[in-house]
Chain A
Amino acid sequence: MSRISDNYGSSWQKKFSDWMKNGWDGLDENMAREDTAPREETPAEQTDLFTLKVREDRERQRDVYSRLHQWSVTTGARRIHAVYVILSLFTCGAIIFFLLQAVGGLPLYGAADSPVNNEVTRRYIEQGIEETGAVNFVSSMILDYRAFDTLGESTVLFIAACTVMILLRSDVGANGRPEKGSLIVSPDQSDGKPDPILKHAAMFLIPVILLFGVSMVLNGHLSPGGGFSGGAILGAGLMLFLNAFGRDRAVRFINYRTFITVIFTALIFYAGAKSFVFYTGANGIPFRFPLGTPGAILSAGLILPLDICVGMIVSCTMYGFYNLFRKGGF
Chain B
Amino acid sequence: MDLLRNVPFVCVLLPLITGIACAVLPRRGSKFLCFVTVLVLTGANAYSIFRFVSGAEPFTYPMGHFPGPWGNELRSGPLESTMALCLSLTAFLSLWAGSGKAGVHIPRGKQGLYYSVVCLAAASVNALVYTNDIFTGYVFIEISTIAAGALILSRQDGHCLAGCARYLVMNLVGSGLCLMGIAMLYGQTGHLNIDSLRRSLSSPPQPLPISLRTVIVLLTVGLGIKSGLFPFHSWIPDAYSYSTPASGALLSSFISKGYIFLLVKIVVRVFGLETIRASGVCPVVFAFGAAGIIMGSVSATRQSDIRRMVAFSSVAQIGYIYMGIGMCTRDSIIAALFHVAVHSFAKSMLFSSAASLIASSGDRAQMDSLAGSGRRNLPAGIAFTVGAMSLTGVPLLGGFLSKIYLSQAAIAIDTFHAVAVLLTLALSTFLQTVYFLHAVVNIYRPKEKSVHSEKQGILSGAALCAMALINILLGTASVPLYRALLSGFLQF
Contact = CB atoms under 8 A, between A and B. Distances in A.
B120 A159 contact: yes
A116 B26 CA distance: 48
B279 interface: no
B108 A162 contact: no
B135 A149 contact: yes
B336 to A, nearest CB: 27
Contacts of A23: 304, 367
A5 interface: no
A213 to B, nearest CB: 24
Interface stretch (A226-234, A240-248, A277-285, A316-324): A277-285
B211 interface: yes
Given A175-B109, A271-B20, A278 B187 contact: no
Given A123-B70, A159-B146, A260 B23 contact: yes
B113 A98 contact: no
Given A148-B136, A174-B109, A268-B17, A282 B146 contact: no
A264 B63 contact: no
B153 A20 contact: no
A267 B20 contact: yes
Contacts of B215: 102
B13 interface: yes
Contacts of B21: 264, 268
A145 B64 CA distance: 8
A202 B411 CA distance: 73
Contact of A275 (B13, B24, B209): B13
Contacts of A38: none
Contacts of B133: 149
A105 B211 CA distance: 5
B109 A173 contact: yes
A166 B110 contact: yes
Contacts of B65: 277, 280-281, 288
A162 B65 CA distance: 32
Nearest to A120: B69
Contacts of B146: 156, 159-160, 163
Nearest to A266: B20
B147 interface: yes
A196 interface: no
A114 to B, nearest CB: 7
Interface stretch (B415-423, B438-446, B449-457, B474-482): B438-446
Given A114-B190, A156-B142, A260-B24, A281 B62 contact: yes
B64 A162 contact: no
Interface in A101-120: 101-107, 114-120
Interface in B1-35: 1, 5-6, 9, 13, 16-17, 19-21, 23-24, 26-27
B114 A152 contact: no
Interface string B116-155: 1100100100010000010110011011001101100110
B214 interface: yes
Nearest to A147: B64
Nearest to A257: B24
B140 A152 contact: yes
Contacts of A274: 64
Interface in B275-302: none
A172 interface: yes
Interface string A158-181: 111011011101001111110000
Contacts of B64: 144-145, 147-148, 274, 277-278, 281-282
A159 B63 contact: no
B368 interface: yes
B438 A20 contact: yes
A274 B20 CA distance: 15
A152 B304 CA distance: 41
Contacts of B127: 152
Given A159-B146, A176-B108, A176-B112, A275 B17 contact: yes
B136 A162 contact: no
A264 B188 contact: no
Interface residues of B, number: 74
B114 A166 contact: yes
A153 interface: yes
A155 B22 CA distance: 14
Contact of A98 (B191, B214, B442): B214
A242 B463 CA distance: 49
A106 B63 contact: no
Contacts of A101: 210-211, 214
A282 B66 CA distance: 9
A22 interface: yes
B71 interface: yes
B71 A145 contact: yes
A82 interface: no
Contacts of B211: 101-106
A166 B113 contact: yes
A21 interface: yes
B13 A278 contact: yes
Interface string B54-88: 00000001111110011110000000000000000
Contacts of B140: 152
A99 interface: yes
B186 interface: yes
A99 B147 CA distance: 30
B117 A159 contact: yes
Nearest to A98: B214
Contacts of A20: 438, 441-442, 445
A148 B137 CA distance: 11
A193 interface: no
Contact of A153 (B26, B72, B139, B191): B139
Nearest to A17: B445
Contacts of A169: 109-110
A90 to B, nearest CB: 16
Given A107-B188, A152-B139, A166 B108 contact: no
B184 interface: yes
A146 B134 CA distance: 12
Interface of B: 1, 5-6, 9, 13, 16-17, 19-21, 23-24, 26-27, 61-66, 69-72, 107-114, 116-117, 120, 123, 127, 133, 135-136, 139-140, 142-143, 146-147, 149-150, 153-154, 156, 184, 186-191, 196, 200, 209-215, 304, 367-368, 438, 441-442, 445
14 contacts: A107-B188, A117-B190, A118-B190, A120-B190, A145-B64, A145-B66, A146-B72, A149-B133, A159-B19, A163-B150, A176-B110, A264-B24, A268-B20, A281-B66
Given A106-B188, A167-B150, A169-B109, 10 more contacts: A20-B438, A99-B214, A101-B214, A103-B184, A152-B142, A152-B143, A162-B23, A175-B109, A271-B20, A282-B64
Interface of A: 20-23, 98-99, 101-107, 114-121, 123-124, 131, 144-149, 151-153, 155-156, 158-160, 162-163, 165-167, 169, 172-177, 260-261, 264, 267-268, 271-272, 274-275, 277-283, 288
The 4 closest A-B pairs by CB, nearest first: A105-B211, A102-B214, A152-B139, A115-B190
